[in-house]
Structure 1
Amino acid sequence: MAVFSDVQFTPNVTVQALADSIAKLMLSQPKGIMILCSAEAASWGDDFKQYVGTLDVPIFGGIFPGLILDSRFEPRGILVVGLRTNIRICVIENVSTCAPVSSNMAYMSQSVNSVMILTDALSRQIDGYLQHVLGFLPKDCSVFGGGAGTLEFKAQPCLFSAAGMHQDAMILVEMSTQWDIAVGHGWEILAGPYLANSTDDNCVLELNFEPAVQLYERVVQEHSKLRFDEHDFFDIAKSFPFGLARLDDSVLIRDPLKLQGSGLICAGDVPENTMLYIMSGEADKLIEAASGAVKRTISFHINEQGVSDCFLFDCVSRQLFLQNLFSNELDLIHQEINPPHRTVGALVLGEIELDQSGILSLHNKTAVAALAKIKSHE
């Protein structure tokens, strides 16, 4: 049985277009609704709040730089997804200013099988909140999600719930569905490591005891023909992310999004005194890493169960880097999902995943696919 009751897409980004899509979706009798919208929805405000107040089905979602439907990338539109199983939604406000320990997670059911987390990508303390959430999850619970926002990197409401639109917030969606998580990025070390000797949550202030911007721009320019004084910062930085060295020898990718004085604002925190690499990538290796992770995950369970519908949270800067080749990545991932099952998701600013070793991480420049498990006899 499919996890999604129905999926509706419209290129029109208005509250009325949303209402029309949900009216069609309601014919499938969903028990919950996910709403994914492009940047134009940031101005909805009170009109959205008034509309969702009329719904008697739990809703959640957010604003993202792009939408994913099967093997298609949609830069503009509204994607609504009906869920067949009951969901439970919690909204955490003021993520940047309230300590994670002040959030009461005791409500979380110990029988929950999975949690989707959507967060305002520009919030501080995201990693601290993720670790706090982890302490309340039952064993074998799968966790996945992504960061909402736009490529303007402007602080504004970007998350949806039945209460309206939210800024500087995190949404937790409890589900009874079981999911397998596939993760891949394909980025490789270009230079480093460098000591992040001074950081402030998601802002890298110094590398090797010199201003972070100064070292980063010098190294990138030494390894490329690009100059930062001739381009917008992110136009270059999207191709040269940081790699945060981890104890298991893996590398957690961090996107430098914009400048703040002599510091670099990243999508996710960078702990002080960690080692950072500067990374680079080749299109073929990025595509293989993402699609290969999905294929391996499906193959591992092929004798136990099939795979149903798929949520895909793919980093927007992968799409910006791959450009026209991004469709190859979506094609190869969706080929693993047998019809009539669907792939739905968004281009995100940071990808969330709980790995098999129990580490809950905010990734950048990575593809995270959640593959719904179905029993072999279904």
Structure 2
Amino acid sequence: MAVFSDVQFTPEVSVDALTDSIAKLMLSKPKGIMILCSAQAASWGRDFKQCINGLDVPIFGGVFPGLIIDSRFEPCGILVAGFVSNIQVSVVENVSTSSPFSSNLIPMPSSVNSVMILTDALSRQIDAYLQHVLRFVPESCSVFGGGAGTLEFTPQPCLFSAAGVHQDAMILVEMSTQWDLAVGHGWEVMAGPYLANSTDDNCILELNFEPAAQLYKRVVQEHSELHFDEHDFFDIAKTFPFGLARLDDSVLIRDPLKVEGTGLICAGDVPENTMLYIMCGDADKLILAATGAVRKAVSAFCDTHQVSDCFLFDCVSRQLFLQDEFAKELDLIGSEIARPYRTVGALVLGEIELDQSGILSLHNKTAVAALAQAQSQDAT
């Protein structure tokens, strides 16, 4: 059966518009509510808390650079989705400044089949918290999610719960729904590897014993006709991410977001003494990697199941890179989701996925789709 009781979207971003959307959604009698908003909602503060007062269902969500509904990318708006089944929402505060071991998490019951994680993308220690969370997740549980925030890359409130608006936090959403995950990026090696000999969580301080920003800018300019003194840093960096070499020969993508001193701030941690490549991309290969992963996951379903509703967390820098061709990626993914089922999601700053080998990773520049299963007789 469907996961979502109803989905409401409005291009207007205001507390009044949110109130109206929630009122319409409540007619479907949801057992939980997800609220995804574009950047303008980051300033709501107390107004958000007043808007949701009186609701007796769990609430979660966040502020993102863009929204996804079915095969559409919406740069501005509010997307509200209701859940047919019960969900459990918990909030972990002060991710950057508190030890993961002080988070007071408790083991999740065996009835939990999946966990969605939303995190403040600018928080430090995200990877450490993800590894800690994994200790409390039931075996064979699927885990996925993404980083909230805006393209201003400034610390600000960006996550929602029934308690209000949160900054430097992580939200865990426990669900009984079973999801199959599809992950793909399509980026290829351009230069390297380089030794990240000095790092500080999500800041690369030195590459090959040279200031990281200096080496990165030089290499990118040598391989392209772009010059950093003529553009904003991220306008160029979105096209040339880092690739972190892993033991299984795969590459974990890391987005350099901004320069801080002579270092580079990334969306996700970079362990010291790892090897980094500088990557480049081709639009067709990026689209093929993401859509091919979804198609492979769908084809892997047994004959008694079909795809139900879908969560899609697609990196905002993929959209910035693909531009008009991003619509093609959404169309091809959406074509795998047969009506009346829905695709909802957001452009995120970091994508979270627990892979089949049991590694919980924060990706960048990657598409992560969570596909719910439905019995064949329920699909139409």
Q: TM-score category by the smaller chain?
A: over 0.9
2:288 counterpart residue number: 288
Structure 1 alignment gaps of length 5 or more = none
Separation in 1, partners of 2:109, 2:172 = 12
2:359 aligned partner: 359
Amino acid at match of 2:8: Q
Measured in 1, the distance between the counterparts of 2:304 and 2:221 equals: 50
Equivalent residue of 2:173, what SS? strand
Answer with 296-305 or 78-87: which moved more. Answer: 296-305
Counterpart residue number, 2:186 = 186
2:280 equivalent to 1:306: no
Which residue of 1 is the match for residue 135 of structure 2?
Answer: 135
Deviation, 1:104, is 1.6
Between the two proteins, what is the percent identity of the paired residues? 79
1:182-203 CA-to-partner distances (Å, cap 9, x unmatched) read 0000000000000000000000
Partner of 1:203: 203
Question: Residue 109 of structure 2: SS of its match in structure 1?
Answer: coil
The match for 2:69 is 69
Tell me what 1:343 maps to: 343
1:143-158 alignment runs, 5 A limit: 143-158=143-158
2:104 counterpart SS class: coil
Tell me how far 1:374 sits from its aligned partner: 1.7
The 2-side partners of 1:98 and 1:41 are apart by 27
Residue 303 of structure 1 aligns to a residue in which SS? coil
In structure 1, C-alpha distance between the alignment counterparts of 2:47 and 2:4, rounded to whole Å: 27
SS at match of 2:50: helix
**Aligned Cα root-mean-square deviation (Å):** 0.8
Instruction: Show the counterpart of 1:114.
Output: 114
Contact 2:108 2:138 (8 Å CA) reproduced: no
The whole-number CA distance in structure 2 between the counterparts of 1:92 and 1:53 is: 21
Aligned to 1:226: 226
Most deviating of 69-78 and 46-55 = 46-55
Query: In the alignment, is the contact (CA less than 8 A) between 1:295 and 1:336 conserved in 2?
Result: yes
Question: 2:246 aligns to what?
Answer: 246
Task: Output the CA distance in 1 between the equivalents of 2:63 and 2:172.
Answer: 16
CA distance in 2, matches of 1:295, 1:91: 33
Q: CA deviation at 1:303?
A: 1.6
1:319 match: secondary structure: helix
- What SS is found at the alignment partner of 1:340? coil
- Alpha carbons 2:242, 2:253 under 8 Å: kept: yes
Partner of 2:313: helix, strand, or coil? strand
Secondary structure of residue in 2 paired with 1:333: helix
Is the partner of 2:317 in helix, strand or coil? helix
Distance in 1 between the 2:278 and 2:104 partners? 38
For the residues of structure 1 that align with 2:54 and 2:45, how far apart are their CA atoms? 15
Contact (CA 8 Å) 2:196, 2:273: kept in 1 or not? yes
Distance in structure 1 (CA, Å) of the matches to 2:53 and 2:181: 33
Q: Which amino acid aligns with 1:196?
A: A
Local SS of the residue matching 1:117? strand
Instruction: Please say if residues 107 and 137 of structure 2, whose CA atoms lie closer than 8 Å, have aligned partners that are also in contact.
Output: no
The amino acid that maps onto 1:85 is S
Compute the TM-score of the two structures, normalised by the length of structure 2: 0.99
Counterpart of 2:330 in structure 1: which amino acid? L
Residues 353 and 362, structure 1, Cα contact 8 Å, conserved in 2: yes
| TM-score under structure 1 length normalisation | 0.99
Task: Give the partner amino acid of 2:191.
Answer: A
In structure 1, the residue matched to 2:3 is 3
Paired AA for residue 263 in structure 1? G
Please show how residues 16-55 of structure 1 align to structure 2 within 5 Å. Answer: 16-55=16-55
- In structure 2, how many angstroms separate the alpha carbons of the residues matched to 1:253 and 1:326? 19
Q: Which amino acid aligns with 2:72?
A: R
> What is the alpha-carbon distance in structure 1 between the residues aligned to residue 284 and residue 222 of structure 2?
24
SS at match of 1:173: strand
Deviation at 1:110, TM superposition (A): 2.9
Paired with 2:66 and 2:216, the residues of 1 have a C-alpha distance of: 28
In structure 2, what is the equivalent of residue 166 of structure 1? Answer: 166
Shift of 1:57: 1.2
What is the aligned partner in structure 1 of residue 101 from structure 2?
101
Q: What residue in structure 2 maps to residue 81 of structure 1?
A: 81
Q: Does residue 213 of the first structure (1) align with residue 202 of the second (2)?
A: no
In 2, the alpha carbon distance for the partners of 1:377 and 1:142 equals 24
Q: 1:375: how far off?
A: 2.8
Q: Is the 8 A contact 1:53 1:163 kept in 2?
A: no
Give the whole-Å Cα distance in 1 for the aligned partners of 2:192 and 2:58: 47
Spell out, residue by residue over 1:237-293, the C-alpha distance to the aligned partner (whole angstroms, 9 max, x if none): 000000000000000000000010000000000000000000000000000000000
Deviation at 1:108, TM superposition (A): 2.2
